[in-house]
Structure 1
């Protein structure tokens, strides 16, 4: 692999663990992005920022010396010299922790560094959100393999470096929501984003729901568990519940809600990487929004709601006007007129639409024979089923399945 390919892989490796990465050139000057704003939030004198970080050997780049760094605030970083560059370029990764700090340990650090109590909430949020690498030996093995390919098997060294000098620090003491995250505002923002997202799903508006999910994810509560994957899954379980309740608000029958909710919950538990988990919210929003657009009875009278739900859940049954009027004890003419006025379709056309939608779903997701699919859709006459399908999709069921098979490469 080339140096570029190795570094691209390394970036992906650390990003998968939510560890920030960046490149910098000599002379190395402190930037707020390095520690995600920790120092600029705590310290009053900006010229003290770099002094809280270990000073690197000025020759470490030419010596291919990789450092595992621990700074004054007990955060860890990696410093990896990039070979074959015109400037002294260094790849940095961090901050991260090897063990999730407990609250008493954070309090102990505050006392040791004499950090004012007003910063307590910010620090608890900051340290709780730090990515955790639980196996230091595994990280060293990864670095050894990486360096062997970057510099050659004998041309590098890996060592630890800690900041131990306790310099005089001057902390920010002025009350400021810009410097200290206001917990109340953060919670309010999260609840506003939740409500806006749920309202969008309740109307089947996927695009609007996507706009609000970004605000919700950015204001998500701090990491509560040492296991980042488990912590993220727990948050997404809550998201799945919110989406289900939103679709219920959109008047989708509980049968459909329960089916989709269970499928997504099962899928979520089988996701094992952060990139997979990052894609989950958009999938959930899209599927619940589609569910609302397909099965919502919002705006219908109670009588039409009952008829629509019955049709959707009993496609194999007799769904003629005569039979439905009998089931719901309604006059045939009244039911026909009411249904058309509220849905914009005749009852017969609505039944055909739902049966064809179900047929398309079965053709896409099962190897079931077309004869059996027709029966599951309540149409025993295969010729009539084919005629209705051709009218809907412009091709026969067999042609449609062949097209789907070719697209999926099966």
Structure 2
């Protein structure tokens, strides 16, 4: 499997919160396969035991693996030579119908009761999914045809119950703390991604966060999810504000989502709303962020945005903002790469598109609504930016002819 195929499979699985690793000689990263669980539970755990067990897997077979901690993996073995194996492992994850029994896990692995909180946090960090092996199998069938796979099933126990392992007593909360820190770090990165308008990264991080199952604060799971969605709405709003998007843009979006969250009736509906919120807030940043502009240029852009009908010439804006006209003109050109006049005309034409596409207002009235009171001049600058006349644009949008 080449690097591009691997990246595609990794993205598919990570969208469901599932990690994937490739292990090759000398297998120095084998402790990654269980997110460091065994290393945290046992003193000097030898991960070569894992590699030894994986050697029993047949080449070009896909295996669903259950281990002694009740978690699942999907594994594929490829061999160029008998002693040079490459292992691809997806996991760990939980199956919906087989949530681990904590008492059984503690007894089976000769652990102590104080390990329960650590294990619980570990399980809470894992995605609960179904039939991931079919996803992997289908991917190889369609994208990696040089490795024809056969599906197989086996249970690997990696030897924990067959030898006396020394339980790690000191720092027993280290794994728990690490998992909590991971969750908080992912949450911070999510808010940073929204602030940057990076929709793809934000959605991937939201999927990663979604695999954590935080201890319930109430018995009403829907109410809890609804409260969480309301909280995300507030946090996204603040992130966009940090990107210097004008509050007028933010408030309209935030209020609309708050109303929709309030009238939602199912957890599935709320999950869809969360993804929609990410996309909408990221688009706000992409469209209206003034983070890279000075205060004076940002003030001009906001003034033009909300006062498009006013006579927005250089002198008028300089007077409104109490700044020297020559300085304003030069600073605006340096930061935006265009003249103030060109920018104002472009914004006016952009706003006129809405009226032309959604109303039957005469062209002269549309021009007046965006601050241009000469229909001929409006038509000239409209054609400059849109490469067609206002009437041609309206006709193209709706196939209508204006008389």
TM-score of Structure 1 vs Structure 2, range by shorter chain: 0.5 to 0.7
Task: Tell me if structure 1 keeps the 8 A contact 2:23–2:30.
Answer: no
Instruction: Please give the alpha-carbon distance, in whole angstroms, between the structure 2 residues aligned to 1:291 and 1:111.
Output: 57
Partner SS state of residue 161, structure 2 = coil
Once the two structures are TM-superposed, the CA of residue 182 in structure 1 deviates from its matched residue by: 5.8
> Matches of residues 206-221 of structure 1 in structure 2 within 5 Å?
206=196
* 1:287-327: CA deviation from partner (whole Å, max 9, x where unpaired): 33753529x99899xxxx9x9988744645xx359xxxxxx
Task: Tell me if structure 1 keeps the 8 A contact 2:9–2:139.
Answer: no
Q: Match of 1:37? A: 36
Match of 1:96 among 93, 98, 115: 93
The TM-score normalised by the length of structure 2 is 0.58
- Kindly report the root-mean-square deviation, in angstroms, between the aligned alpha carbons of the 2 structures: 6.1
Gap runs ≥5 in structure 1:
226-230, 322-332, 405-410
Q: Match of 1:74? A: 70
* 1:18-52: CA deviation from partner (whole Å, max 9, x where unpaired): 322233357878711111211112211323x4557
Is it true that 1:55 corresponds to 2:53 in the alignment?
A: yes
Gap runs ≥5 in structure 2:
215-223, 261-267, 330-338, 394-403
In the superposition, relative to structure 1, how do residues 237 and 311 fare at CA in structure 2: closer, same or farther (>3 Å)?
same
Is it true that 1:383 corresponds to 2:376 in the alignment?
A: yes
Instruction: Please give the alpha-carbon distance, in whole angstroms, between the structure 1 residues aligned to 2:6 and 2:185.
Output: 37
In the superposition, relative to structure 1, how do residues 82 and 187 fare at CA in structure 2: closer, same or farther (>3 Å)?
closer
Match of 2:285 among 277, 283, 288: 288
> Matches of residues 1-400 of structure 1 in structure 2 within 5 Å?
10-25=9-24, 31-47=30-46, 49=47, 51=49, 55-56=53-54, 58=56, 60-61=57-58, 64-82=60-78, 87-99=84-96, 105-106=101-102, 108-134=104-130, 136=131, 139=133, 143=137, 156=150, 158-163=152-157, 166-167=161-162, 168-175=164-171, 179-181=175-177, 197=192, 206=196, 223-224=212-213, 238-247=231-240, 254-261=247-254, 284-285=281-282, 287-288=284-285, 290-293=287-290, 312-313=305-306, 315-316=308-309, 319=310, 337=319, 339-341=321-323, 356-360=346-350, 363=353, 367=357, 371=363, 374-386=367-379, 395-398=384-387
* 1:246-302: CA deviation from partner (whole Å, max 9, x where unpaired): 555788665421344478899xx99999xx96x9869845633753529x99899xx
The TM-score normalised by the length of structure 1 is 0.58
* 1:162-215: CA deviation from partner (whole Å, max 9, x where unpaired): 4287233322211277555268867886898799x59x95xxxx49x99x989x
Once the two structures are TM-superposed, the CA of residue 130 in structure 1 deviates from its matched residue by: 1.4
Instruction: Please give the alpha-carbon distance, in whole angstroms, between the structure 1 residues aligned to 2:25 and 2:115.
Output: 33
Once the two structures are TM-superposed, the CA of residue 367 in structure 1 deviates from its matched residue by: 4.7
